[in-house]
A and B are shown apart, each in its own frame.
Chain A
Amino acid sequence: MNPASDAGIFTERLLNEGGAQATDLLQYLCSIQQHYSCIPPQAVETLARVLALTPSVVLGVIEFYSFLHRTPRGQFDILVSDSITDQMLGSRDLLQRLCDRLGVCVSQPGSDGRATVATTSCTGMCDQGPALLINGQVVTRVDNERLDRIVALVQAGSPLEDWPQDWFSVSDNVYRRDQLLDEHSANGDSLRVLLDRGAADLLQELDDSGLRGRGGAGFSTALKWKLCRDASADERYVVCNADEGEPGTFKDRVLLQSWADTVFEGMTLCAGIIGARRGFLYLRGEYRYLLDSLHTALENRRASGLLGSAILGEPGFDFDIDIHLGAGAYICGEESALIESLEGKRGIPRIRPPFPVTSGYRNRPTVVNNVETFMAAVRIAEHGSAWFRSKGTAQSPGTKLLSISGDCRDRGVYEYPLGVSIEEVLSDCGADDVQAVQVAGAAGRTLPPAEFGRTLAFEDVATGGSFMVFDHTRDVLDVVQNFTRFFAHESCGFCTPCRVGGSLLRDLVDKLHDGHGSEYDIREMRDIAGLMQAASHCGLGHTAPAPVLDLLDHFPDVWRQRLAAGGFEPSFDIDAALSEAKQLTGRDHSGGRMGGDV
């Protein structure tokens, strides 16, 4: 590793590779972080000078993203996935073992500069966890034996290239295929249909199909494309949201690993319809391992005339795609925060209106769609709207990919017609003795068995695809605590209810979890949750209290038996607070106890 004093020169060289633009700040920071395991002060100074930003703005971006650091992490930056499903597979024990063997504390870089061990939000490997990220590369299916070998390699300072490469393999684990996953990857057929029939006609076909956004919100895809196409502007942009950060979802990972061509073709199709010349794939930092194969796919498409200038020989059909990396920020899955991040800024959601379709990237009309939505658009262009509508329900046509994890036999990706019942899904994945299902991730719904007759569809239980199963050996409060901590950690901090309310809610859930919660605290949780839902700036704040409310509404037996006696419990333990003073003064006799069971 180069000494940090070279960082200014390294950064200068990086900036010289292309026309340095402030919109690429986050991309430069990701490269510098990979190289130095931190962003050295000389790099901050150089970035600010060349990009005409103030150093404090650069620092503000660094401190926003979890994967960027101002102090060195060491030769190995090891992040243990803290998703609830990874925890259920033993990730917390692995974390402890890793720290013990390496002689480090969680989140504190080791003094020898060798390694840092920390936790990270869901890495999207819930079907093959517990998972680690080591210098951005994924290691799946970690057990004690694999962990001990990792420790030995870390202690020996062995570079990742020399590690057993099968540790880094990520499987697709597709268990059920339907309209989307049944076919080979796209080779330009949908673009030929576009050139044959024209943009207006194909847009009508898309409208007839009733395709709705697969990220979970369910906005009409055809309407979004039409609004963008009709907005007057000199430039338009296509953005594929591959910031798959919702805990428990990993289907976009599979699509980008094995159907990347179809995804890129969907973006190209959109570009042809709305009149965009440039597109971005915003790839979450956790999926950095996919970068090489994605770049190869783009190269191949350029070589085949499916991307670049005059696509399929059609003069004026020019479109190309850049890949931008995220750096550990769940909020960037929100489309306007994603656009801010694409512009190299802190991922703070914008005020809406205006919406991205009229004012998105660089304030130009921009379509932001989920990975799966682009893929579905390709299939509709190829096969028509009637074919698409042959699956699903009237209000939710087509199929949906589910990422199934937790307590079941076959964890992986399942493609179902929308309208499938939760029961049927549970039966197919081999889940028995189910206590609860988390649909649509931490921001979704926690449903008890009484609700398993419900269906997955926009008109019933809407989902972006996360489906986590918890059997009766699990403590639902562990689940809710995990999600509430997740939201407090991932809040962007912009608005008061989410920034402060999220932390207050986390502390109350911790209190209840530890057996100190009271009826008063339950009322407080509902009050804070209601405020967050009503008054937050964006969807993160609106949905963050959902796990708490579902716990209170659907699992009364779980929380009631945890309540402390009496209507009120203080928010702090006075004996613990006084323990240091007692120790110093030597007054640690039992008669001096103020609270507890004296």
Chain B
Amino acid sequence: MNTRKTFRMDGRTIPFEDGQSIIDAALAAGEYIPHLCHNPEFTPHGSCRVCTVDVDGRMVSACTQPAAEGQQVVNNSDPVNHYRRRLLQMLFVEGNHVCPGCEKSGACQLQAVAYYTGMLAPHFTHFFPRREVDASHPDTVIDFNRCILCELCVRASRDVDGKNVFSISGRGIQSRLIINSNTGRLGDSDYDRADKAASVCPVGAILPKHQGYEVPIGERLYDQRPISVVGDVAQAKQGDNGDG
């Protein structure tokens, strides 16, 4: 039997398969690396940068960096955690994230990663963008205020549902999620609540209608245990907004 290839992360030896990313190898070995746009079911994206780690003295995103023999990876250090908090704060001020008024609170990956990394306040000046809420679909509401441009719904709709309901438009700080229909509204698109795209949103941007606060605050996905133990929102069963 061949000896397995390994790299070192925060003093632990992590085995990996050829072609595996640092984050997937670490997650398989039970080591949590904070992330938002990554979901092992989809092609790596590398846009949120929250999974930034130090690899042999260079900062890289763990979801796009192939694991390599002998790499020294730092996942938990002051500089790495500082970068992550700042990235999360940037995502908070870029959109309009009002946790106390959000149905996703307690089961939101952005919020859970923020808690995990020790983010206490948004720090930066809020952008307060004007964004719409799309309630045109009978089963689902889209609140663009909370979109963090992770493109998980874009990837799920394109690669799994084969529908291309979602895509990204604009550029720079004007980048925005758009919906493929003649009106640009979800109700006029091919979207269905059974779509994969309906269950991958890590935040409260894509929410099921007709159910509100079914799981009480305090008993939600991340209310008892941290995200490093519970795992991602998308791993909780579809349509289940809380007690995964």
Contacts and interface: CB of A to CB of B under 8 A. Distances in A.
Given A60-B168, A492-B172, A527-B86, A500 B93 contact: yes
Contacts of A503: 127, 172-173
Given A54-B164, A55-B180, A59-B178, A492 B125 contact: no
B44 to A, nearest CB: 7
Contact of A535 (B52, B124, B167): B52
Contact of A496 (B64, B90, B169, B180): B90
Contact of B86 (A488, A490, A531, A537): A531
Interface string B110-153: 00000000000000110100000000000000000000010000
Interface in B168-198: 168-175, 178-180, 182, 184
A504 B46 CA distance: 21
A535 B127 contact: no
Interface string A493-505: 1111101111110
B83 A493 contact: no
Contacts of B59: 534-535
A495 B173 contact: no
Nearest to B49: A535
A491 interface: yes
Nearest to B48: A496
Contacts of A144: none
Looking at chain A, what size class is its interface with the partner chain?
A: 35 or more
Given A493-B172, A495-B47, A531 B167 contact: no
A59 B49 CA distance: 26
A280 interface: no
A56 B181 CA distance: 8
Contacts of A531: 83, 86-87
A535 B171 contact: no
A480 interface: no
B180 A56 contact: yes
Contact of B172 (A351, A488, A571): A488
A470 interface: no
A351 B178 contact: no
Nearest to A60: B169
B23 to A, nearest CB: 13
Contacts of B64: 351
Interface string A520-542: 00000001100100111100000
Contacts of B180: 54-57
A199 B50 CA distance: 46
A527 B127 CA distance: 19
B46 A351 contact: yes
Nearest to B170: A63
A50 to B, nearest CB: 16
A59 B214 CA distance: 38
A496 B174 contact: no
A13 B227 CA distance: 55
A507 interface: yes
Contact of A56 (B61, B90, B169, B175): B169
B94 interface: yes
Contacts of B164: 54, 56-57
A351 B47 CA distance: 10
Contacts, number: 116
A35 interface: no
B66 interface: yes
Contacts of B87: 496-497, 531, 535
A253 interface: no
A497 B164 CA distance: 27
Nearest to A541: B49
A443 interface: no
Interface string A270-310: 00000000000000000000000000000000000000000
B167 A329 contact: no
Interface in A465-514: 488-497, 499-504, 507
Given A55-B180, A56-B180, A534-B83, A493 B44 contact: no
Contacts of B91: 496, 500
B173 A502 contact: yes
B171 A488 contact: no
A502 B174 CA distance: 12
A59 B169 contact: yes
A346 interface: yes
A100 to B, nearest CB: 28
Given A60-B167, A329-B171, A504-B125, A537 B178 contact: no
Contacts of B179: 56
B66 A489 contact: no
A493 to B, nearest CB: 3
B38 to A, nearest CB: 12
A388 interface: no
Contact of B175 (A57, A499, A535): A499
A416 interface: no
Interface in A42-56: 54-56
B64 to A, nearest CB: 5
Contact of A500 (B50, B90, B184): B90
B163 to A, nearest CB: 9
Nearest to A66: B171
Contacts of A500: 90-91, 93-94, 173
Interface string B14-53: 0000000000000000000000000000001011111010
Interface string B79-97: 0000100110011011000
A494 B169 CA distance: 11
A353 interface: yes
Contacts of B50: 496
B125 A507 contact: yes
A264 interface: no
17 contacts: A56-B169, A56-B179, A59-B169, A59-B178, A60-B167, A60-B178, A66-B171, A351-B46, A488-B173, A494-B47, A494-B175, A499-B172, A500-B173, A502-B172, A507-B125, A534-B83, A535-B59
Interface of A: 54-57, 59-60, 62-66, 329, 346, 351, 353, 488-497, 499-504, 507, 527-528, 531, 534-537, 571-572
Given A63-B171, A488-B172, A499-B175, 8 more contacts: A56-B169, A56-B184, A63-B169, A64-B171, A346-B171, A497-B87, A499-B173, A500-B93
Interface of B: 44, 46-50, 52, 59, 61, 64, 66, 83, 86-87, 90-91, 93-94, 124-125, 127, 149, 164, 166-175, 178-180, 182, 184
